[in-house]
Structure 1
Amino acid sequence: MTQALRRNFVIHTLALSACAVAVLALPRPASAADNPDAAMHIIVGYAPGGAADSLARIYAEQLRQDGHGTVIVENKPGASARLALDYVKRAKPDGKTIFIGPSPLFTIFPLTYKKLGYDADKDLVPAAVLTDVPTVIAAGVQQPYKNMKEYVEWAKRNPNSASLGLATIGSAGHLGTVALGKAAGIAITPAAYRGASPMLVDVISGTVSIGWDAVASMMPLYKGGKLQFLGVSGTRRAKALPDVPTLKEQGFSQYDYATSWYGAFLPAGTQPDVVAKVEKMFIVASRNAATAGKLEALGLEVAAKPGQDARHRIQLERAAWKPIVEATGFVAED
Structure 2
Amino acid sequence: MIEPLHPRSRINRRNLLRSAGAAIALPLLTRTARAGDWPERPVTLVVPFAPGGTTDVLAHLLAEVLTRHYRQPFVIANKTGASGNIAAAFVASAPPDGYTFLIGTPGIHATNRLVYRSMDYDPVADFAPVILIARVPNLLSVTKALPVTSVAELIDYARQRPRQLVYGVSALGSTGHLSTELFKTMTGIEITPLPFKGSAPMLRDLADGRVHLTIDNLPASKPLVEAGEIRALAFTTAKRWEPMRQLPTIAESGLPGYETASWFTIGAPRATPPEIVTSLNATVAAYLGSASGAAQLRRIGAEPNGGSPEDMRRHVLAEIVRWEKVAKTAGIVPL
Q: What TM-score results when the alignment is normalised by the length of structure 1?
A: 0.85
Aligned with 1:98: secondary structure? strand
Assess if the C-alpha contact under 8 Å between 2:106 and 2:175 holds in 1: no
Q: Identity of aligned pairs, percent?
A: 29
- Residues 123/132 of structure 1: CA separation in 2 closer, same or farther (3 Å cut): same
Structure 1 stretch displaced more, 310-319 or 175-184: 175-184
**Code of the aligned partner of 2:53:** G
**Partner Cα separation in structure 2 for residue 143 and residue 232 of structure 1:** 18
Report if aligned partners of 1:63, 1:285 keep a CA contact under 8 Å in 2.
Answer: no
Matched, 1:127 2:130: yes
> Does the Cα contact within 8 Å between 1:180 and 1:254 map onto a contact in 2?
no
Equivalent residues of 2:186, 2:255 under 8 A apart: no
Residues 34-89 of structure 1 show CA distances to partners (whole Å, capped at 9, x for unaligned) of 77321011110011111111110011111122234111011111111111111111
Equivalent-residue separation in structure 2 for 1:53 and 1:302 (angstroms): 16
Aligned to 1:187: 190
Distance 1:253 1:268 in 2: 40
Query: Which residue identity lines up with residue 103 of structure 2 in the other structure?
Result: I
| Aligned: 1:49 with 2:52 | yes
Determine the structure 2 residue equivalent to 1:5.
none
Alpha-carbon contact 1:41-1:71 (below 8 Å) kept: yes
Q: Detail structure 1 runs of 4+ shifted over 6 Å in the superposition.
A: 32-35
Compared CA separation, residues 172 and 323, structure 1 to 2 (3 A): same
Residue 240 of structure 2: SS of its match in structure 1? coil
Root-mean-square deviation (CA), in Å?
Answer: 1.9
What is the CA-CA distance between 1:254 and the residue it aligns to? Answer: 6.5
Within 5 Å, give how 1:77-226 maps onto structure 2. Answer: 77-226=80-229
Q: Which runs of 5+ in 2 are unaligned?
A: 1-34
Shift of residue 299, structure 1, vs aligned partner: 0.4
Would the alpha carbon gap of residues 308 and 46 (structure 1) be closer, same or farther in structure 2, given more than 3 Å must change?
A: same
Aligned positions of 1:289-304 closer than 5 A:
289-304=291-306
What's the CA shift for 1:134? 0.9
Partner SS, residue 154 of structure 1: helix
Q: Corresponding residue for 1:18?
A: none
**C-alpha displacement of 1:190:** 1.1
Q: Deviations over 1:102-148 (max 9, x none)?
A: 12322222333211321111011110011111110111223211122
Q: 1-side partners of 2:258 and 2:169: how far apart?
A: 15
Helix, strand or coil at the partner of 2:250:
coil
Relative to the length of structure 2, the TM-score reads 0.84
2:272 pairs with 1:270: yes
- 1:332 is displaced (CA, Å) by 4.0
Question: Greater CA radius of gyration, 1 or 2?
Answer: 1
Shift, 1:100, TM fit = 0.6
**Paired residue for 1:327?**
329
Partners of 1:45 and 1:149 in 2: CA distance: 34
Number of residue pairs matched by the alignment: 301
Q: Which amino acid aligns with 2:302?
A: L
**Structure 1 residues 117, 148: closer, same or farther in 2, change over 3 A?**
farther
What letter corresponds to residue 186 of structure 1 in structure 2? Answer: I
User: What letter corresponds to residue 303 of structure 1 in structure 2?
Assistant: N
Please tell me the residue identity of whatever aligns with 2:59. A
Change in Cα spacing, 1:91 to 1:200, as seen in structure 2 (3 Å) is same
CA apart distance, 1:94: 1.4
Q: Secondary structure at the match of 1:261?
A: strand
Q: 1:307 aligns with which of 305, 309, 315?
A: 309
| CA displacement, residues 133-187 of structure 1 (integer Å, 9 cap, x when unaligned) | 1110111223211122211111111223222112121222322322332333322
Given that 1:124 and 1:265 are in contact with CA atoms closer than 8 Å, whether structure 2 keeps it comes out as yes
Q: Which runs of 5+ in 1 are unaligned?
A: 1-31
Q: 8 Å contact 1:169–1:332 — kept in the other structure?
A: no
SS in structure 1 of the partner of residue 125 of structure 2 = coil
The structural deviation recorded for 1:253 is 4.7
SS at structure 1 position matched to 2:181 = helix
Distance 1:47 1:239 in 2: 28
* Secondary structure, counterpart of 1:139 in structure 2: strand
Distance 1:248 1:296, change over 3 A: same
